[in-house]
Structure 1
């Protein structure tokens, strides 16, 4: 949206609503606080606020979810933890927490630990959706990591056999609840990843249970086993509201083991339909390819180069002669142009020599004239130059004194003399 114009209130509320709804941090969040302004509407919805020492947060607990609450009756002043997502009511520009479940303080510490771990693994990229792989379309071997005695294993095998009777099923039994569950689940998944078993897809999980019963699938070791699985893996843990963390680490998550089997193993009719469609498309593609090759072959056979190859060669000979003729003509023109340029340079050279000779004669004449006016030429005829101790040239007798030392410069050498007599006669 452009910053050059003001936006309307509705547009701003819409932007805020979209920002909140697209941010996963606001979709599944636990909020702790004290209940205030508690009210039950005739529709059965709970409306209240959560407050702490400085702030209030509006909350809505709709009737469809209030039925799952089994704790003490909610009332003002009760310390609780509410789990839900943040929404914006655009007409009033108010945001509130859409509550999914509520627990009294002291009962929900485990949720805080799970949320903390979820945030840490999310920041590390363990839950990055871009790394998730597609499931194989026609798996030959299905691997199952779950309890060998629960209803989950029976449902998975029943659905798998119904959809694809010839499917190979390899069960890696494990404990899915209790202290030993994390190590047991991890080992079962690692065993199914052994290449010797040639497993194409893995379903790992269990049937439904309480939040505490499902805690093994919120364990970091189990989560990393899903994340590191070489084979595409489906998280199949029965749950109602909360998603276990293995759902985020797996390539695909299913709400129940039965749903996971339906996702992993397509029905025979679906497979046959897929094979028939693939066969139809391949046949059509081959027909088109064959017709294309026939058309190309027909066009090639119609070419004169095949029906009369000698004519084709003759045409090439003629084209070659034309090219050679053009090359010779270009070569002659090139040489002619270069000769013309060379003759220009020769004329320039001749003119330059003439000019240089004239300049030399003028220089010799000027040099001779300069020689005649040279002081050295005058000295060579018996004249001399007289200078005092300051190197000033003496031009008249009144410029010197008796006893003063003077320098006489001759054509060759110089003399030092003392003035003994001065005559002012011309």
Structure 2
């Protein structure tokens, strides 16, 4: 009867046998999945395309294990052996990179908590670039020249898609992580899984066929290509030309979420959107429901504000139209005319009152001026002045009359003295020559035969001049 071991007992037995059988080994392979934690230790995988070996290179070993030159030969300080056959160059931890072909020296060890064996490296030498890295770079260059990586050919992802096609292994952890995240995000969507191998020789053809099937169904808004983490060999299916061709000819946008953050594949370069992990793919496709809810609240508040503003603007427009119609109505026009008439009446009444007030003030001013001119005091003064003037006029008239009488008497006396008939009263006469009509003053003024008209006090006497005598009487 065979013995029954506990897990720890069996693991410890394997550890003891393995470490005893392989106390120190040299292993050649390509570096993949290189990790650099803060501790300074390095963790990576050595692979040759058919198998993988986990390697840990502690920080202390990185500092102490440096080969030295002796007579042109490289001597390993751990073993003392000449390393001419390796043709390698010792590396530092900082120089180690994914894809490098290296030769590692160290001891095998079993990590009991995981039951996993690993190589504890003491020395790492560069052996050049690995075959997989060479193939990766060659295909990358070829596809870049064909325009597979051009940004202008890539399709934008739909926001919150309702129909999503997922190409992956239906039993892998990647689809579980994707669906778990999808349940908590977006507004609800339908997800179809297109099963495919994601590792191995048959994986590239199945992945390409699944992508072509998504196009043929013409159902999905977006296709998602996901796979969990692994070594470069595990992820190699996504570094093949058939997969790149299928992504390139896809009519729907393709999202690639292959491996972990450091893992970069050819599929990532060709895809319309590359994300770090399968979980991140779900996060990229669907927004958080809290964000959607908050956005919905923002939209709701914006719509409410817009509706309120719209109501206010329409209310203001309606009020403006109502006032316009009211202003144009006959009733309103009559009211305006009545108001205008009332205003004019008030203005007329005010103008009349102002006019009468002005005239009253003018009359008062005139009365005051008349009172100053014709008032009792002024009248008394005027009466006294009139009496004085009357007295002066009376005296002047008396003097004037007396003067006029005197002048009249003088004129009368003068006139009487000048009256040609006045001498007739005293017995004189006036002789007029009829021929000339002039009074006779000199006998020489007449000739014999001239008729004379002699006027005396009580009548006229006619006479004729005789030549022998100057005195003629009839």
TM-score by length of 1: 0.47
TM-score by length of 2: 0.42
Q: Choose 1 or 2 for highest CA Rg.
A: 2
